[in-house]
């Protein structure tokens, strides 16, 4: 069989959802695939399920890791063993529509881009919630460096699992997962920055299951800002490593400031502002372009946040007041 697409599925304790995931991949209208299932030391029946499927379908290849490494690094292992010309990722608690790979494959071949992305549907407690993306950056091939900046300000789909990549692109540009928390974001940023061209489609072909109880991101709100700050530092380092930091500096600062403002408002933790100011704020190098925000209210928040950075007033107090007023209005 001629393998055109390698589908990589990292697995860790997902026996409840795994069959639905694998079935959706095996039943694709596009058949020239291999399915690389990376078992990341599951302690439930996930490994047993994978082996049962392996007996039924020769397209399934099992990588059984002996040490738990996390979803990002598990995907790296899958990529190392991929034989297909193209690579796509599916998370083991999600499932895809039957034409998911066909649409991605035909699009990346037709437009000869480094990667193609589709839209997705959120699924919460088995209820489907639309995730419609209204963007003039969808359904057009993007190659211009200035337009890349616009994409990074509001990426239509930052998740790695909604995309197909040229394997040669990933290997030649040395793109790999650098972390296991919020790992999709830096991976997609790096792919956008390093690519010659890419395409975001509005087709909703991926079903993304939200808030699974044993998900790595479930119930970690109090730690999420630690992961965010690690992400921001990794993004900055990645841009510096490829000599693109100066070009994307304004976009970078807008992205991390926007994220931090939202974190402070959501979590109401004083130390978030202090950590941000210490790690990222420098009067000489901090370049925050307020015009990047199309929303007047949020643009105003960014102005206030920047004033707080300059004067060392903790934005936490302003955020707390704002959220209190918001609650009263409700």
Q: Are residues 114 and 236 in the same domain?
A: no
Q: Are residues 90 and 193 in the same domain?
A: yes
> Does residue 214 lie within any of the structural domains?
no
The model's pLDDT over 164-194, given as tens digits with 9 standing for 90+, comes to 999 999 999 999 998 778 889 999 999 999 9
> Does residue 93 lie within any of the structural domains?
yes
Q: How many domains does the chain have?
A: 2
The model's pLDDT over 111-121, given as tens digits with 9 standing for 90+, comes to 999 999 999 99
Q: Are residues 19 and 138 in the same domain?
A: yes
Q: What are the tokens at 273?
A: 């502002």
> Does residue 215 lie within any of the structural domains?
no
For residue 74, the model assigns a pLDDT of: 96
Q: Which of 176, 209, 242 is the last residue of a domain?
A: 209
Surface-to-core class of residue 73, CB atoms within 10 Å of its CB (0-12 exposed, 13-18 middle, 19+ buried): buried
Q: Are residues 22 and 147 in the same domain?
A: yes
Q: β-strand 198-209 against 141-142: which pairing, if any?
A: antiparallel
Rounded distance between C-alpha atoms, residue 61 and residue 45, angstroms: 17
> Does residue 219 lie within any of the structural domains?
no
> Does residue 312 lie within any of the structural domains?
yes
Q: State the CATH number of the domain containing residue 190.
A: 3.90.550.10
* Cβ burial 170-204 (10 Å sphere, 16+ → b, else e): beebebbbbbbbbbbbbbbbbbbbbbeebbbbebb
Q: Are residues 255 and 193 in the same domain?
A: no
Q: Are residues 157 and 197 in the same domain?
A: yes
Domain range for 247 is 224-329
Q: Are residues 60 and 186 in the same domain?
A: yes
Rounded distance between C-alpha atoms, residue 8 and residue 205, angstroms: 17
Q: What are the tokens at 86?
A: 């193209």
* Average pLDDT per block of 10 residues along the chain, 330 residues long: 93 96 98 97 97 96 95 96 98 97 98 96 78 78 94 91 97 91 91 97 92 47 79 94 94 96 92 95 90 87 95 94 77
Q: Which of 175, 209, 243 is the last residue of a domain?
A: 209
Are 93 and 17 in contact by the 8 Å Cβ rule? The answer is yes
For residue 132, the model assigns a pLDDT of: 66
Q: Are residues 202 and 233 in the same domain?
A: no
Q: Which of 25, 63, 36, 46 is nearest to 214 (CA)?
A: 46
Rounded distance between C-alpha atoms, residue 98 and residue 95, angstroms: 9
For residue 255, the model assigns a pLDDT of: 95
Q: Which of 164, 179, 209 is the last residue of a domain?
A: 209
Rounded distance between C-alpha atoms, residue 256 and residue 262, angstroms: 10
């Amino acid at each position: 069989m001629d393998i055109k697409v390698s589908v990589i599925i990292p697995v860790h304790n997902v026996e409840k959802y795994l069959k639905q995931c694998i079935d959706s991949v095996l039943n694709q209208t596009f058949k020239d695939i291999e399915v690389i299932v990376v078992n990341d030391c599951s302690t439930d029946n996930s490994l047993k399920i994978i082996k049962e499927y392996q007996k039924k379908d020769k397209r399934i290849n099992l990588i059984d890791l002996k040490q738990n490494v996390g979803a990002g690094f598990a995907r790296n292992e899958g990529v190392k063993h991929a034989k297909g010309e193209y690579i796509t990722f599916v998370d083991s608690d999600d499932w895809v529509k039957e034409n998911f790979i066909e649409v991605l494959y035909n699009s990346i071949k037709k437009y000869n881009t480094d990667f193609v992305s589709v839209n997705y549907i959120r699924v919460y407690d088995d209820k489907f919630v639309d995730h419609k993306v209204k963007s003039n950056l969808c359904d057009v091939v993007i190659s211009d460096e200035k337009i890349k900046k616009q994409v990074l300000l509001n990426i239509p789909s930052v998740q790695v699992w909604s995309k197909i990549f040229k394997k040669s692109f990933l290997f030649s540009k040395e793109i790999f997962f650098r972390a296991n928390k919020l790992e999709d974001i830096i991976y997609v940023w790096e792919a956008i920055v390093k690519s010659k061209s890419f395409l975001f489609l509005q087709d909703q072909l991926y079903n993304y299951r939200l808030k699974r109880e044993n998900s790595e991101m479930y119930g970690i709100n109090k730690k999420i800002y630690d992961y965010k700050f690690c992400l921001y530092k990794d993004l900055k380092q990645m841009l510096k490593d490829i000599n693109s930091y100066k070009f994307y500096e304004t976009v970078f600062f807008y992205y991390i400031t926007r994220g931090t403002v939202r974190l402070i408002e959501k979590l109401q933790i004083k130390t978030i502002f202090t950590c941000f100011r210490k790690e990222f704020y420098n009067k000489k190098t901090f370049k925050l372009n307020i015009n990047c925000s199309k929303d007047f209210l949020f643009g105003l928040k960014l102005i206030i946040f920047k004033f707080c950075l300059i004067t060392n007033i903790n934005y936490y107090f302003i955020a707390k007041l704002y959220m209190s007023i918001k609650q009263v209005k409700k």
